């Protein structure tokens, strides 16, 4: 009987120590969570303290608000209904081609183009029971490349800046040699 009571005392002691460790761990974890949250807020304040970063953040928020307004105001669903009623999108194939067209003509900025095409085409793809993965593929394979090819946006300015540091000289066969000048 003494062996059982010793064993019981040992189990209870280990169990109590485990509870103490768990309680200490919870307190430590809460401290880390609070400290991490405070550091995150401090970093956000530091980033928005720079005027250029604040402008980019405001532009992104305004674009997000505009796209949310387009979606929740019913404009997108009315556009989808109009496209279907006019016969522009009668089946899944035409919906995919229309998505390709929308992605190709909205070359304002790569993210904005993708978001606009996605919001405007999602209703069509849902109506014709097409997968969202296909929608994402069509938009991603058209919006970003078009934004790079047509140099009327931020990416275009960046690429022109990169190309301006190179000197191109004609070579036989219609090819060019390029030399970095910077």
Point out which residues pair with 170 in neighbouring strands. Answer: 176
| pLDDT mean across residues, the chain | 76
Percent of the chain having pLDDT more than 70?
69
For 129, which DSSP code? T
Average pLDDT over residues 4-31: 62
29-33, 66-70, 90-94: range with highest mean pLDDT: 90-94
SS3 178: strand
Q: How many Å apart are CA 7 and CA 4, to the nearest integer? A: 5
What is the pTM assigned to this prediction? Answer: 0.55
Residues 122, 132 contacting (CB under 8 angstroms): yes
pLDDT band at residue 131, thresholds of 50, 70 and 90?
very high
Domain-by-domain residue ranges, the chain?
Answer: 1-48, 51-147, 151-182
pLDDT at 138: 92
Give me the helices (H) in the chain, please.
2-48, 51-72, 75-85, 92-105, 110-127, 132-149, 154-163
Q: Are 167 and 181 in contact (CB under 8 A)?
A: yes
The predicted-structure confidence for 81-123, as pLDDT tens digits, reads as follows: 888 888 888 888 998 988 888 888 876 666 777 888 888 888 8
Could you read off the pLDDT of 112-129 as tens digits, one per residue?
A: 778 888 888 888 899 899
């Amino acid at each position: 009987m003494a062996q059982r009571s010793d064993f019981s005392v040992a189990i209870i002691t280990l169990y109590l120590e485990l509870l103490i460790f768990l309680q200490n761990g919870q307190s430590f974890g809460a401290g880390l969570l609070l400290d991490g949250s405070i550091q995150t807020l401090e970093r956000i304040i530091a980033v928005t303290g720079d005027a250029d970063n604040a402008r980019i953040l405001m532009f992104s928020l305004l674009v997000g608000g505009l796209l949310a307004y387009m979606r929740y105001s019913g404009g997108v669903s009315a556009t989808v209904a109009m496209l279907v009623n006019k016969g522009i999108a009668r089946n899944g194939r035409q919906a995919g081609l229309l998505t390709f067209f929308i992605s190709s003509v909205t070359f304002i900025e790569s993210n904005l183009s993708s978001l606009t095409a996605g919001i405007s085409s999602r209703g069509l793809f849902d109506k014709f029971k097409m997968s969202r993965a296909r929608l994402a593929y069509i938009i991603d394979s058209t919006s970003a490349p078009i934004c790079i090819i047509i140099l009327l946006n931020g990416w275009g300015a960046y690429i022109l800046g990169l190309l301006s540091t190179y000197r191109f000289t004609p070579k036989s066969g219609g090819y060019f040699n390029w030399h970095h000048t910077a």
